[in-house]
Amino acid sequence: MATLKEKRTCGQRCEDFGRFVWNPDHGTFMGRTPVRWVYISLYYVAFYVVMTALFALAIYVLMYTLDPYAPDYQDRLPSPGVMVWPDVYNEEDLELVYNTSEKRSWTRMSRCLKDFLGPYNDTLQEHCHTMHKCTPGHYNLQASFDAPGHTKWSCPFLQSMLGECSGLDDPSFGYNGTNPCVIIKMNRIINFLPNNGTDTPPYVNCTTLEGHENVAGMTFFPINGTFDLSYFPYYGKKAQPSYMNPLVAVKFHLVGQRSAKIQCRVVARNIAYQNFYDPYEGKVVFKIEATS
Ligand SMILES: *[C@@H]1O[C@H](CO)[C@@H](O)[C@H](O)[C@H]1NC(C)=O
Ligand SMILES: *[C@@H]1O[C@H](CO)[C@@H](O)[C@H](O)[C@H]1NC(C)=O
Ligand SMILES: *[C@@H]1O[C@H](CO)[C@@H](O)[C@H](O)[C@H]1NC(C)=O
Ligand SMILES: *[C@@H]1O[C@H](CO)[C@@H](O)[C@H](O)[C@H]1NC(C)=O
Ligand SMILES: *[C@@H]1O[C@H](CO)[C@@H](O)[C@H](O)[C@H]1NC(C)=O
Ligand SMILES: *[C@@H]1O[C@H](CO)[C@@H](O)[C@H](O)[C@H]1NC(C)=O
């Protein structure tokens, strides 16, 4: 029996393989005649060309119906979120706690603000926005794309607009003492017009939730804590690549225990602030404390 399943020598195997690659009896190459190879190759080439064309057509139709300058799904204009810098968290709460007699503890705060304001550098901002005239107090509405590269103009926001909280005169931003600054930023929302497009700009209003007696006063920069109308509307990253969020800085004058819980709210008729599920919608709450 064993002889029937006789082991084939290596030479025989090689010969079999050779016959598979080129069989002179049937004139086949790898099991097919050259003509059949040409047919089957043509078939597959045609098949993939058609598939690729269909796919490209589907993508093209999709892209054609999308506006590259606007987000696709916007059921309602949402209300903007509000953030505060320095963004120092203790567990989940924002706690700006520093020790005036420990340089390291307060330079952490001032460095955070300095880094945050880096892109707002006056030289940089003025360089980026030389061509366009912005009129304070008026919306920066633009129907066409007149800025270079088929974009729209943005108004510059300069670090120096934050006055005493700009870090230009006092690089410690008040953290070497008891008059610390915080910076409030409102998130951008495409096509958002504050107060439903009326002439009233949104402004920041901070209230003391705890420790009223420890806050002798607050100073807002720019004046009245307003976000000027010329920073609205925002047309999107592609339309306004050089857009900078306007900012408002608040300087607190801490006395007594020098500890307070503050809520800063951006006030406008169409900015909600009582969303239980999103505590940062329209407002931000933080603790500020200067120990020594
Ligand atoms: C702003 O940028 C200019 C030029 O890059 C630089 O000389 C200047 O020190 C910067 N100002 C601040 C406050 O960082
Ligand atoms: C904090 O630094 C500023 C600028 O260097 C200085 O004018 C001010 O006196 C300092 N304040 C305290 C309390 O040291
Ligand atoms: C502002 O517009 C929103 C949405 O269009 C509307 O719900 C709201 O009533 C308007 N508010 C005022 C004061 O007109
Ligand atoms: C700021 O908010 C407080 C509390 O809601 C209110 O009493 C005060 O009038 C507001 N100030 C401004 C300028 O809107
Ligand atoms: C700041 O607010 C006061 C009082 O509401 C107002 O009289 C003044 O014109 C405002 N200043 C600016 C620059 O908006
Ligand atoms: C603040 O720093 C000083 C000097 O290092 C230290 O004596 C003091 O205990 C610190 N205060 C607090 C509340 O940690």
Residues with CB under 6 A from ligand 1: 121, 123-124, 168
Q: Which ligand is nearest to the CA of 195?
A: 3
For residue 160, report the distance from its CA to the centre of ligand 3, in Å.
34
Q: Which residues contact 55 (CB under 8 A, 6 or more apart)?
A: none
**Predicted local confidence at residue 58, as pLDDT:** 92
Contact status, residue 246 vs residue 231, Cβ threshold 8 Å: yes
In a domain, residue 76? The reply is: no
Residue 245 lies in a domain: yes
C-alpha span between 224 and 227 (Å, rounded): 9
**Is 4 part of a structural domain of the chain?**
no
The ligand with the least distance to the CA atom of 100 is 6
270 lines ligand 3 (CB under 6 A): yes
My answer on whether 97 and 125 are in the same domain is: yes
| Residue 9 domain flag | no
Nearest-CA residue for ligand 5 atom 13 is 223
The pair of structure tokens assigned to 112 is: 């955070």
Amino acid sitting at position 227: F
**Is the beta carbon of 195 within 6 A of some atom in ligand 3?**
no
The secondary element (H helix, E strand) that includes residue 84 is: strand 82-85
Atom of ligand 6 nearest to the CA of 291: 13
**Domain match, 268 and 165 both:** yes
Residue 129 in this model has a pLDDT that exceeds 80 = no
Q: Whose CA is nearest to atom 4 of ligand 5?
A: 224
Assign residue 225 a region (left: φ > 0; alpha: ψ between -120 and 50; beta: otherwise): left
Please tell me whether residues 61 and 88 are part of one structural domain. Answer: no
Atom of ligand 3 nearest to the CA of 76: 4
If asked whether residues 112 and 60 sit together in one domain, one would say no
Nearest atom (ligand 5) to Cα of 223: 13
Report the atom number in ligand 3 closest to the C-alpha of 196: 1
Domain presence at residue 53: yes
Residue 137 reports pLDDT greater than 60: yes
- The CATH number of residue 275's host domain is 2.60.40.1660
End residue of a domain, out of 15, 39, 65: 65
Is 6 inside a domain boundary? Answer: no
Task: Give the nearest ligand 4 atom to 205 CA.
Answer: 1
- Pick the more confident residue, 144 or 184: 184
Q: Which domain holds residue 58?
A: 28-65
pLDDT in tens, 91-127: 778 999 999 999 999 999 999 999 999 999 988 888 7
- Ligand 3 near 196 CB (within 6 A): yes
Please tell me whether residues 37 and 112 are part of one structural domain.
no
Kindly state whether residues 98 and 207 are assigned to the same domain.
Answer: yes
CA distances to 11, 204, 247, 281 from 266, rounded to whole Å, are 87, 5, 11, 9
Q: Which residues pair with 182 in a beta bridge?
A: 250
Structure tokens at 241: 């690549």
Q: Atom 7 (ligand 3): residue with closest C-alpha?
A: 270
Please tell me whether the peptide bond between 156 and the residue prior to it is cis, using omega within 30 degrees of 0. Answer: no
How far does the centroid of ligand 6 lie from the alpha carbon of residue 30, in Å? Answer: 85
In this structure, the answer to whether residues 88 and 37 fall within a common structural domain is no
Query: Which residue would you say has higher pLDDT here, 72 or 176?
Result: 176
The number of the ligand 5 atom at minimal distance from the alpha carbon of 224 is 1
Among the bound ligands, the one closest to the CA of 257: 6
Do residues 35 and 131 both lie within one domain? Answer: no
Task: Kindly report the number of other CB atoms within 10 A of residue 221's CB atom.
Answer: 20
Please check whether residues 165 and 57 belong to one and the same domain: no
Ligand 2 site-directed mutation target among 99, 113, 172, 253, most atoms within 8 Å of CB: 172
59, 88: one domain: no
In a domain, 14, yes or no: no
Q: How many domains does the chain have?
A: 2
Residues 216-264: tens digit of each pLDDT: 999 999 999 999 999 999 999 889 988 999 999 999 999 999 999 999 9
Q: Are residues 196 and 60 located together in one domain of the fold?
A: no
Q: Which of 65, 94, 113 is the last residue of a domain?
A: 65
Query: For position 2, what pLDDT does the model report?
Result: 47
Question: Residue 183: its pLDDT value, please?
Answer: 96
Convert the pLDDT of each residue in 43-99 to its tens digit: 999 999 999 999 999 998 888 877 766 665 665 668 899 999 998 877 778 999 999
Would residue 19 count as lying in a domain?
no
Which of 65, 93, 122 is a domain's end point?
A: 65
Q: Where are the alpha helices (DSSP H) in 5-72?
A: 10-21, 34-65
CA–centroid distance, 123 to ligand 1, in Å, is 7
Q: Does ligand 4 have an atom closer than 6 angstroms to the CB of 205? A: yes
Please, which residues bridge with residue 265 across strands? 205, 283
Name, of 7-16, 26-35, 122-131, 272-281, the range with top average pLDDT. 272-281
Same domain, 168 and 56: no
